[in-house]
Chains A and B, each alone.
Chain A
Amino acid sequence: MSEFLSITISILFHGVAMAMVLYLISVGLSVTMGLMGFVNLAHGAFAMAGGYTLVILMKQHNLPFGVALVVAIAICVVLSLILERLLYRRLYGGDELDQVLMTMGLIFASVGAATYLFGPVSQSLEPPAMLRGQINFLGRDFPTYRSFLILCGALVVTALWLGLERTRFGAQIRASVDNLRMAQTLGINTSRLFTTAFALGSGLAALGGGLGADFLNVGPNYALEYLVYFLIVVAVGGLGSIRGPFVAALIVGVSDTAFKYLAPQYGAFFIYAITMAILLWRPRGLFGQSA
């Protein structure tokens, strides 16, 4: 019995930690999708950029973890602003196919650029001494870094939800997701809103990519390899929703951990099967608005 309990706790712990990473990366994708109807397949590339910058800043420039993380996020936000102005903006409200093609091109370019800059081998994150080892909680040992990950994720999620519910900016975003034209009529500067939301989403992705480097290996194929996970979280959660992806990330994180632990011979098979089943049941996702 106690062994069962111990396995359950362990699966839940690691599953929730993975869910935090998935949520941080995917929430931006859900917002861009809901706000602009933009299918940004290259969203994972920003997470990859965050991961690489963090690792490189720590390894080669010996910056402390916290500073490197902030710098990595800042770099990704600037990068996303440039790309938004140069490329994304042209395709807002355009053909879905063009969006898919352009962002697919961005993915391939990111694969090539990462291979050129950092080599084909994936990079590993060395957490600072403070976050290494185990932490004792209620008589059990938990890996410190993953506990930190859960804590960080919870903080960011709370801040995000409060920001969306309580601030003017959040209200504007909710209004624009619900009815873009009406929001424009009321004088909301949706163009600036798009840019800000896009940059915010990319920054969160960079944070998730940096912190989550021990779940999702930072290698050149990052944006291709994990795209399916990000899309699952967004589609299962429901487009444009902020809470939906959180529930979806929990489902994906915990069940992925459980199946890989309990039935490793099937690999990721079950997580895909569950996804298909959920969407068969609710084609618009768990929290998607009905048409």
Chain B
Amino acid sequence: MTDLSSRDLMGDRKVVVDAFARRHRFKWYEAIPWLVAIACYFLFENYHALGAQIFATILFALSLDLLIGFAGIVTLGHAAFFGVGAYAAGVMAANGWQEPFSEILVAAIVASGVGFVSGLIVLRTAGLTLLMQTLVVAALLQELANKWSSVTGGSDGLLGMKIDPIFGAFRFDLFGDTAYVYCLGVLFIGWLLARNIVYSSFGRSLTGIRENANRMHAIGAPVDRRKIIIYTISAALAGVSGALIAQTTALVGLNTLALSKSGELIIMLVIGGIGRLYGGFIGVPLYMIAQDRFSQIDPIYWYFWIGLFMILVVVFARGGVLGVFERFNQRRRSR
């Protein structure tokens, strides 16, 4: 009898392990974004610079999705880490250190440091107070960058950055050919990391914290520590994204730390769909390409329409493009 039940238990265990392994396995559609990105390199030769920006911003959106979508930490100050990364890389490049990969590494370290320290303070609260504190951290850093103009260039922005060729061979050119491949490569590494986190047991426990923090406490999960860890990782990824933007545009301004930056990022993520890992891959290109087109015609109305669109998404199309797609799929399957 005992033999039977223990064998059953083993069987159950195998089922669970298999289910985990299956979820973690790469599916065919996960290759789509990368194939599209490679195809776009050849199809739209005049838009490589925009493409590089889009890839860097997707990484930024991915880092925010880890926080909002998986850990349930709603923040208004994610631009803080983006800006810190951008300034870290920018200050190095403007002061003689020109090797791109080491700049990215330093940006990640500095941003994760800021994320860790601010996370210790900020994550003690929730709701409106948490929103306010994340916003204040970003505002604090923005004021610092504004006033410390001998290093950051203040409100004029940081100018005079020089970047070495990648691997000593590929120079950053005006058309953004190198930047396109470079940003795509870094995004790919960041995506692999984020994907591994999400499908790991650590990632599952984050989802548990999002759904019910009290219950996670009750089963003995170290809730606070896990929140701080994901906050730090997310800050590092955002910092890398900031460094990419700084290197490929050779310009860092105060707006990298602004609330509007965080707000726009949230909007992009929402359009794609939050908590699905691929929201950024859909929302960011949609937003940035539309902005590129519309702001040439009519920059004033852009914010109005995007705001209205956002309201409509929340009220009528929850989950963004991916959410609508999922519901459509479910309905088709249930028929």
Contact = CB atoms under 8 A, between A and B. Distances in A.
Interface of A: 33, 37, 39, 41, 87, 90-91, 96-98, 100-102, 104-113, 115-116, 120, 221, 224, 227-228, 231-232, 234-235, 239, 265-269, 272-273, 275-276, 279-280, 283-285
B139 A105 contact: no
Interface in B136-153: 136-137, 139-140, 143-144, 146-147
B135 A228 contact: yes
Contacts of B267: 104-105, 108
Nearest to A39: B128
Interface in B304-320: 304-311, 313-315, 318
Given A116-B300, A228-B132, A280-B121, A268 B307 contact: no
Contact of A97 (B68, B137, B143): B68
B127 A107 contact: no
Interface in B119-166: 121, 124-125, 127-129, 131-133, 135-137, 139-140, 143-144, 146-147
Interface of B: 68, 72, 74, 76, 121, 124-125, 127-129, 131-133, 135-137, 139-140, 143-144, 146-147, 259-260, 263, 266-267, 270, 274, 300-311, 313-315, 318
B127 A96 contact: yes
A102 B140 contact: no
B316 to A, nearest CB: 10
B128 A235 contact: yes
Contact of B307 (A96, A106, A275, A279): A106
B311 A269 contact: no
Contacts of B133: 235, 275-276, 279
B304 A228 contact: no
A37 B129 CA distance: 12
A106 B304 contact: no
Contacts of A96: 74, 127
Given A111-B303, A228-B259, A276-B133, 11 more contacts: A37-B127, A41-B131, A102-B310, A105-B309, A106-B311, A108-B304, A112-B307, A115-B300, A224-B263, A232-B132, A267-B143
A251 to B, nearest CB: 14
12 contacts: A101-B314, A102-B310, A107-B307, A108-B263, A109-B304, A115-B300, A116-B301, A116-B304, A120-B300, A235-B133, A269-B140, A283-B124
B254 to A, nearest CB: 12
A267 B144 CA distance: 9
A115 B139 contact: no
Contacts of B270: 101
B311 A87 contact: yes
A239 B128 contact: yes
A109 B307 contact: yes
A269 B303 CA distance: 29
A265 B144 CA distance: 10
Nearest to B312: A105
Nearest to B118: A276
Given A104-B267, A112-B300, A97 B74 contact: yes
B315 A104 contact: no
